[in-house]
Structure 1
Amino acid sequence: MNLKCGISDVVGARIGVYPMQDNFVEVILGALKETDKTGLYVVTDDLGTIIQGKRERVFAYVKEVFLRTAHAGEHVVANVLFSVGCPGDVPEDFDFDAKAKSVELPMEDMPIACAWSLYPLGSKEYFQVIVEEVEKAMEMSKVEVESYHYCTRLDGKARDIFNLLETSFEGVSKRIHHTIIHATFSKGSPSKTKEKIHI
């Protein structure tokens, strides 16, 4: 299947997960091996894991990898970038229509924090789009939303935060095709929640 950039619905992502513990290799590789990659192009290198596929599968895969890592670890951080419509992106020649089995993840109720940045690219109205999406997020009572410098902070259950990110990504990309989300997730940090330390 040959898909052209700009007209395909293939989404790309890169995730790096960082368990703050001695057996981090075991935890990371275990999460990657246990997560079903059906319908996805997945390749791992020394900087993280690249994923390409349909939006629903990409978000589900990233969520599952993070949750499996966070469940096996203690303090775990993940950096994730989601992208669609990049003019320089070339989707792999791959069958993205293969169907994956449904997976129950009881750890979806895990409380996490997320620093969320949204980049609608190639439009003069990008800032208005960002403001509108953040306002929509603030209306979602299941997730705590707070404006920070250079990002928006989200606190809540993993399920609700990932749903918010995917819904936002879908909505913005329908208006501005080249859309990027950058998100930093954290679970189990020993720091006091939301405490700001001036150095």
Structure 2
Amino acid sequence: MFAGTQVSLYPMTDGFVDVIMSSLDALDPWRDRLRIETDDISTLIVGPPEVLFPALRDLYAKAASTGQHVVLRATLSRGCPGEPDDPICQTAALANPKEPLDQRQQQALAAIAETADKGQIADAQFSLYVMGAGDHMAEIMGCIDFLKQSGTFDRSKNFCTRLTGDAGPVFATLQQAFCQFGPPAGHVTIDLTVSANSPSKR
């Protein structure tokens, strides 16, 4: 399997260079378990979901801790048929396809309940795309039902779902959406935007 993300940070400040460069330092503790490549547009992070999402959380939290208005934009993908399998992505975190949807929902909720707070608020919106064979709408609707029970659900919006809360549970919710819904061997993607310190909320 191949799993990863292309992620970009957009700080709304004259000191955007310092915010971006210092925030990338938050990825250092994860580098031995991820493949990380940064260019002038985005940072590619490749690895298993149970490492990938905490790394994204820490990147976001470090940028948000500056107090500046910062937006993180990411496209996440697993099982893309156009990418070769990568041993670094081996994981046991993906749902067993034989498990009923309600059991997977309960496992996802239990994982969030065990997640520690990060001490930084995250306002996120995302869309889940389940591709390939099977009843993709059943998986998406099952994910939405899970989100409404997650404790991080804010509201449904056109084309996406909004989450709000501490960055720990919010990114844990995203991880569970990515791992528990859609076939383990199938192609699943997430389109994600996370905002911190927006002047619109003041």
Verify: 1:154 aligned to 2:181, yes or no: no
Which residue number in structure 1 is paired with residue 179 of structure 2? 170
Verify: 1:145 aligned to 2:154, yes or no: yes
CA distance in 2, matches of 1:75, 1:125: 39
Q: How many residues are aligned here? A: 175
Cα displacement (A) at 1:175: 5.1
Which residue number in structure 1 is paired with residue 6 of structure 2? 14
Cα displacement (A) at 1:90: 2.8
Amino acid across the alignment from 2:162: R
Instruction: Provide the TM-score with structure 1 as the length reference.
Output: 0.80
Cα displacement (A) at 1:173: 4.1
Aligned residues: CA RMSD: 2.2
**Which protein is richer in helix relative to its size?**
2
Superposed counterparts of 1:81-96, under 5 Å: 81-90=75-84
Q: Sort the Cα spacing of 1:34 and 1:110 in 2 relative to 1 into closer, same or farther, 3 A.
A: closer
- Percent identical among aligned pairs is 30
Superposed counterparts of 1:61-80, under 5 Å: 61-80=55-74
Verify: 1:26 aligned to 2:18, yes or no: yes
Contact 1:120 1:176 in 2 (8 A): no
Contact 2:26 2:58 in 1 (8 A): no
Point out where structure 2 has 5 or more consecutive residues left out of the alignment: 91-115
Verify: 1:55 aligned to 2:49, yes or no: yes
CA distance in 2, matches of 1:159, 1:43: 24
Which residue number in structure 2 is paired with residue 126 of structure 1? 136
Consecutive aligned runs of 4 or more in structure 1 exceeding 3 Å deviation: 94-97, 173-176
Which residue number in structure 1 is paired with residue 27 of structure 2? 35
Point out where structure 1 has 5 or more consecutive residues left out of the alignment: 1-7, 98-105, 194-199
Q: SS at 2:13's partner residue?
A: coil
Contact 2:64 2:70 in 1 (8 A): yes
Which residue number in structure 2 is paired with residue 102 of structure 1? none
